[in-house]
């Protein structure tokens, strides 16, 4: 017979004090189940970035990689990469670091006239330790970064940029950008990216292992069922408790998640957890559907896809003692992964989930986005489409995005570019068409790499997406 864990007996003992027959009378079993449900909803909202990380790590392991190796894509990612809102217009390299065996070195090669690597070091909670590239600590000159584990007090040799990690594990998101989508330029970007080195401090840099994940299933979407808590338990068992999160210890114990103990929920608890994670998804989705305010451009639907308080917190490891940005963090990591140290430094993102009239973007309709000429970027811009339900690339689509580093894209006489989102390409517009799935809704993420000051001064404005009748 399944029983509710005894660990929350204190939560229900007070039920004996309720006068029999009163309107407030509730059985101990009902109180227990309500407590589990309530705490499970909050655990999902709190734990989204941790589970997001665990899903990516598992996908990397399933691809044949191990900790402290480099998972990379030898071509721009296609829909088989089901991470949350990936960039289909770059070459990805993702080392997943693990410092439980000691500090880990990550060497970044210097940028040159044709190649640059940009990205960030993120702890397992996905707070950034440092940015990489021209806007990062190495300023594009390349560097040896040293990631040290929590509480590390060993000697650090000279010549390293030291990054003390608050978690044992984490990842490095690296993008090796290409000049164009020609096979030669893509190959050059891959070769430049493979100059990255990852190895233990004192180890052999030539021991770096690269594992190609291109065209392999790589599913890192969030599971909104009881398995969510299995992933959360895995995280809790490995990572140290941060002071800011210790309030969750008792809440997770209520669910059966406790450091040093096996997670083995009863069938009753699994049912409650499944109901709770679905409710949490609806709560997070409601905030997401409500949009992000204020709009980046006044009077448009474009906005920065993370609330201000969360942006500030992620950049400072939530240093403000009076603010956490927890709800915004949940919204952010239910639809994306990674955070930079400085938002707007090496890259800047805008999101749109509706057309100019405020209607949800429908995969069965035809839309146009006109990107004005002279975009304020040092590198390139791109517009990518994602499944509104999963926030991953739309499955089965031959092309997930369009970018300014694609030489096949047709420009208008004034230098602007018309992008069409539709289930079928408008006549004569095939080179500027991004296909949609007529059976679902979608969202658009507009990326600007190497943003210039004119972007933030709003001297250049991205107009709304308009339906084409």
Ramachandran class of 334: left when φ > 0, alpha when ψ lies in -120 to 50, beta otherwise: alpha
In a domain, 75, yes or no: yes
Q: Are residues 446 and 403 in the same domain?
A: yes
What's the pLDDT score for residue 13? 43
Q: Alpha-carbon distance 120 to 340, whole Å?
A: 6
Range in 32-46, 121-135, 309-323, 453-467 the model is least confident about: 309-323
What's the pLDDT score for residue 24? 58
Domain limits for position 139: 64-215
| Mean of pLDDT values over 446-455 | 95
- DSSP notation for 360-384: BPBTTS-EEEEE-SS-SEEEEEEEE
Per-residue pLDDT for 201 more than 80? yes
What's the pLDDT score for residue 12? 42
CA angle 225, 78, 50 (to 5 degrees): 35
In a domain, 195, yes or no: yes
Model confidence at 3, pLDDT cuts 50, 70, 90, reads very low
Q: Are residues 105 and 183 in the same domain?
A: yes
pLDDT 10s digits, 358-411: 999 999 999 999 999 999 999 999 999 999 999 999 999 999 999 999 999 999
Last-in-domain residue among 150, 182, 215 = 215
**Mean predicted lDDT score pLDDT of the chain:** 93
In a domain, 416, yes or no: yes
Q: What is the CATH number of the domain that holds 243?
A: 1.10.3360.10
Per-residue pLDDT for 200 more than 80? yes
| Mean of pLDDT values over 126-151 | 96
Q: Are residues 337 and 411 in the same domain?
A: yes
- Inter-residue contact 85 to 391 (CB < 8 Å): yes
- DSSP notation for 100-156: TTS-EEEEEPPP-SS-EEEEEEEETT--EEEEESTTSTTTTS-EEEEEE-TT--S--
The residue whose two tokens read 């409710």 is: 279
What's the pLDDT score for residue 311? 80
Share of the chain above pLDDT 70, in %: 95
pLDDT 10s digits, 150-171: 999 999 999 999 999 999 999 9
Q: Are residues 389 and 440 in the same domain?
A: yes
| Mean of pLDDT values over 238-261 | 97
Model confidence at 25, pLDDT cuts 50, 70, 90, reads confident
Q: What is the CATH number of the domain that holds 336?
A: 2.60.120.600
Per-residue pLDDT for 141 more than 60? yes
Per-residue pLDDT for 129 more than 50? yes
In a domain, 358, yes or no: yes
Per the model's pLDDT, the better-predicted residue between 294 and 246 turns out to be: 246
Q: What is the CATH number of the domain that holds 109?
A: 2.60.40.1610
Ramachandran class of 291: left when φ > 0, alpha when ψ lies in -120 to 50, beta otherwise: left
Per-residue pLDDT for 317 more than 60? yes
| Mean of pLDDT values over 113-130 | 95
Last-in-domain residue among 183, 200, 215 = 215
Model confidence at 102, pLDDT cuts 50, 70, 90, reads very high
| Mean of pLDDT values over 280-301 | 90
Last-in-domain residue among 255, 272, 288 = 288
Q: Are residues 348 and 444 in the same domain?
A: yes
How long a stretch of residues is the chain? 469
What's the pLDDT score for residue 440? 97
| Mean of pLDDT values over 211-218 | 97
Per-residue pLDDT for 18 more than 50? no
Range in 190-194, 244-248, 325-329 the model is least confident about: 325-329
Q: Are residues 230 and 352 in the same domain?
A: no
Q: How many domains does the chain have?
A: 3
In a domain, 322, yes or no: yes
């Amino acid at each position: 017979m399944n029983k509710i864990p005894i660990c929350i007996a204190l939560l229900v003992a007070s039920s004996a004090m309720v006068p029999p027959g009163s309107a407030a009378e509730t059985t101990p079993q009902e109180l227990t189940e309500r407590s589990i449900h309530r705490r499970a909803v909050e655990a999902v909202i709190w734990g989204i970035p941790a589970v997001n990380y665990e899903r990516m790590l598992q996908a990397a392991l399933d691809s044949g990689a191990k900790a402290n190796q480099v998972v990379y894509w030898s071509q721009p990612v296609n829909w088989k990469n089901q991470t949350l809102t990936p960039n289909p217009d770059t070459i990805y390299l993702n080392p997943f670091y693990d410092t439980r065996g000691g500090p880990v070195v990550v060497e970044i090669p210097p940028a040159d006239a044709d190649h640059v690597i940009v990205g960030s070091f993120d702890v397992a909670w996905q707070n950034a330790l440092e940015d990489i590239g021209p806007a990062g600590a190495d300023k594009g000159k390349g560097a040896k970064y040293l990631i040290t584990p929590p509480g590390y007090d060993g000697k650090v040799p000279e010549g390293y940029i030291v990054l003390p990690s608050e978690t044992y594990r984490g990842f490095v998101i690296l993008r090796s950008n290409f000049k164009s989508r020609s096979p030669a330029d893509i190959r050059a970007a891959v070769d430049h990216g493979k100059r990255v080195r990852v190895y233990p401090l004192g180890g052999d840099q030539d021991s770096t292992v690269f594992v190609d994940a291109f065209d392999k299933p790589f599913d890192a979407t969030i599971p909104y069922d009881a398995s969510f808590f299995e992933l959360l338990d895995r995280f809790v068992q490995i990572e140290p408790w941060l002071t800011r999160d210790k309030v969750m210890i008792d809440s997770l114990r209520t669910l059966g998640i406790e450091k040093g103990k096996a997670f083995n929920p009863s069938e009753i608890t699994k049912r409650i957890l499944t109901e709770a994670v679905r409710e949490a998804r609806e709560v997070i989705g409601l905030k997401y559907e409500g949009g992000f305010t204020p709009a980046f451009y006044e009077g448009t639907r474009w906005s920065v896809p993370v609330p201000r308080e969360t942006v500030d917190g992620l950049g400072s490891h939530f240093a403000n003692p009076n603010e956490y940005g927890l709800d915004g963090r949940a919204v952010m990591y239910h639809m994306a992964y990674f955070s930079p140290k400085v938002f707007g430094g090496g890259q800047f993102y805008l999101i749109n989930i509706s057309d100019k009239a405020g209607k949800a973007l429908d995969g069965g309709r035809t839309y146009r986005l006109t990107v004005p000429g002279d975009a304020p970027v040092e590198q390139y811009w791109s517009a990518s489409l994602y499944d509104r339900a999963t926030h991953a690339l739309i499955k089965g689509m031959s092309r997930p995005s369009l970018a300014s580093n694609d030489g096949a894209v047709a420009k208008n006489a004034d230098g602007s570019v018309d992008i069409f989102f539709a289930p079928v390409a408008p006549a004569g517009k095939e080179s500027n068409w991004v296909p949609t799935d007529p059976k679902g809704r979608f969202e658009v993420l507009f990326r600007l790499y190497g943003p210039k000051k004119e972007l933030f001064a709003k001297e250049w404005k991205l107009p709304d997406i308009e339906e084409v009748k």
